Amino acid sequence: MAGRRRGRGIKAVGVCLAVLAPAALAGCGGPATPDAGPGDVRRLLDRRAEAVLERDERAYRATGTAAGYDRLRALPLTSWEYRLKDFDRDGSRATATAELSYRVADYDRAPLTAERALTLKRRDGRWYVTGERPARKAAGQLWDQGRVDVVRGAHSLVLGVGRSRADLKRYATLADTAVPAVRKAWPRPWPGRVVVLVPKSLDSMADLLGAPASGYQGIAAVTTGEAGGSGKAPADRIIINPEAYGVLGDLGKQVVLTHEATHVATRADTSRATPLWLSEGFADWVGYRGTGRSPRQAAPELRRAVADGALPAALPEDRDFGFSGDAGRLAASYEGAWLACRMIAEEWGERKLVAFYTAVGGHDERAGAVEDALREVLGTSPEEFTARWRDYLRQELG
């Protein structure tokens, strides 16, 4: 019996060789077994995400390295999910790319997303995470830099790494002062809450932005977010440069936080049609509003230009606000933009300034947006407005 079975097997193989083309020989033994690795890793990441949300350290450790657990522990989260994108296996080891989406409780209207690179190892029939970091060319996350500490304010959530709790409370106090100030100046609906990230250093700030640190030297803070107000974007993040911010006085620190909170508030009415002179000038107008700072005090670069007979011929272009350009030119651009918005508020009224801002942002494209809003809201033309602004600079700075 054994001999006949063996003989039949040989004959069957011979038929297969005679009939099938060489390229099909691999199919003679039946279809190859698919790699179960991707599915196993998806389930592994689901368990890991659930452990983060449940704050279950034991379950988190069961999925592999627990190096990041303590860094995440304090984050108030309502969602945390991985979506496996790529899986590359080499025996018992593998690398993977996943999209992480997460949402901070009470602040994010939709999940933020981050590309993550994972290393994995298979042991005793199971996969384990051995490392997680930002994917290539992806921005880092605050917890990549160390343990995240959290301070809640009345209108703010401050997340910091390497900062004392007292330091984070000071940021919360400034943010809590900024939000009501913005509400008074910007009557349109917005959530009235801000998230402030305070990293260790300028380099850490740049890592969160996925950009070179050289572009942010001297920049005290930036606000990230989606322009145009789809309603599906998560809350903006105000990211502090602790080196530049730290050298400011009390008033400067407050002006910066109020400026950035204004960007959060106006995001829904800021679009690609909005020039930077308007968005930055309006944010500075809100920041300085009620502080008592005069143009001669708050616009030193333009004051020197006026004194030297070098009055700007036109409102600043978008390129004039580039962080990597000349510091004096950048400062003068912000000052000129602020004074343009200040002029509108003084000569047409604060309500008209808000209406002008929303009218410009309501256009589908940049072309014609400012011109139409000047005509329809302020009853003037670009040429008349520019001439009036230049006269205003002479009057306020001369």
291 DSSP 8-state letter: S
d(CA 135, CA 148): 20
d(CA 282, CA 29): 72
pLDDT at 11: 31
Question: Helix/strand/coil (H, E, C) string of 199-229?
Answer: CCCHHHHHHHHCCCHHHHCCCCEEEECCCCC
Q: Do 82 and 100 form a contact (C-beta atoms < 8 A)?
A: yes
Q: How long, in residues, is the chain? A: 398
At 136, the amino acid letter reads R
Q: Please compute the mean of the pLDDT values over residues 1-21 and round it to a whole number.
A: 34
Going from N- to C-terminal start, the domains of the chain cover 37-136, 139-265, 271-398
User: Does the fold of domain 139-265 match that of domain 37-136?
Assistant: no
Average pLDDT over residues 42-65: 97
Report percent pLDDT > 70 for the chain: 89
The answer for residues whose C-beta is within 8 angstroms of residue 63's C-beta and 6 or more apart is 44, 45, 47, 48, 51, 128, 129
Model pTM greater than 0.75?
yes
Report the pLDDT value the prediction gives residue 232, as an integer from 0 to 100.
Answer: 52
pLDDT, residue 5, reads 37
Rounded to an integer, what distance in angstroms lies between the CA atom of residue 219 and that of residue 243?
9
139-265 belongs to CATH 3.30.2010.30: yes
Q: How far is residue 153's CA from residue 261's CA, in Å, rounded to a whole number?
A: 14
* Whether the predicted pLDDT of 57 surpasses 80: yes
Residues 6+ apart with CB under 8 A from 244: 202, 216, 217, 218, 219, 220
What is each CA distance from 103 to 72, 81, 206, 235, 292, in whole angstroms? Answer: 13, 9, 22, 9, 39
- Distance of alpha carbon 350 from alpha carbon 145, whole angstroms: 42
Average model confidence (pLDDT) for the chain? 90
Chain-centroid distance of CA 307 in Å reads 39
Half-sphere exposure in the Cβ direction for 183 (13 Å, CA): 12
As a whole number, mean pLDDT of residues 181-197 equals 96
Which residues, listed in sequence order, are joined to residue 152 by a DSSP beta bridge?
Answer: 157
**Model pLDDT for residues 246-285, shown as the tens digit of each residue:** 999 999 999 999 999 999 999 999 999 999 999 999 999 9
Please state the rounded mean pLDDT for residues 297-318.
95
Contact 170, 145 (CB under 8 A): no
- State yes or no: pLDDT of 357 exceeds 60: yes
pLDDT by residue (tens digit) across 205-237? 999 999 999 889 889 999 997 555 444 556 789
pLDDT of amino acid 13? 31
CB 357 within 8 A of CB 269: yes
Q: How far is CA 306 from the centre of its chain?
A: 37
Using DSSP's 3-state secondary structure scheme, residue 313 falls into coil
Q: List the structure tokens of 258.
A: 């109020």
Q: What is the pLDDT of residue 215?
A: 86
Condensed to tens digits (0 to 9), the pLDDT of residues 79-103 reads 999 999 999 999 999 999 999 999 9
Looking at residues 105-122, what average pLDDT do you find?
95
Instruction: Quote the pLDDT of residue 18.
Output: 31
Confidence of residue 38 (pLDDT cuts 50, 70, 90): very high
- At residue 22, the pLDDT reads 36
pLDDT value of position 8:
35
- Write out pLDDT tens, residues 283-296: 999 999 999 999 99
**Does pLDDT of 382 surpass 50?**
yes
pLDDT digits (tens, 9 = 90+) for 141-177: 999 999 999 999 999 999 999 999 999 999 999 999 9
314-328 pLDDT per residue, tens: 999 999 998 766 788
C-alpha torsion sign, points 355, 357, 358, 360: positive
- 37-136 under CATH 3.30.230.10, yes or no: no
Examine the pLDDT at 331 and tell me if it is beyond 60.
yes
> At a CB cut-off of 8 Å and minimum separation 6, what does 160 contact?
148, 149, 151, 167, 168, 171, 197, 198, 199
Please answer whether residues 221 and 262 qualify as being in contact, where contact means their C-beta atoms are separated by less than 8 angstroms. no
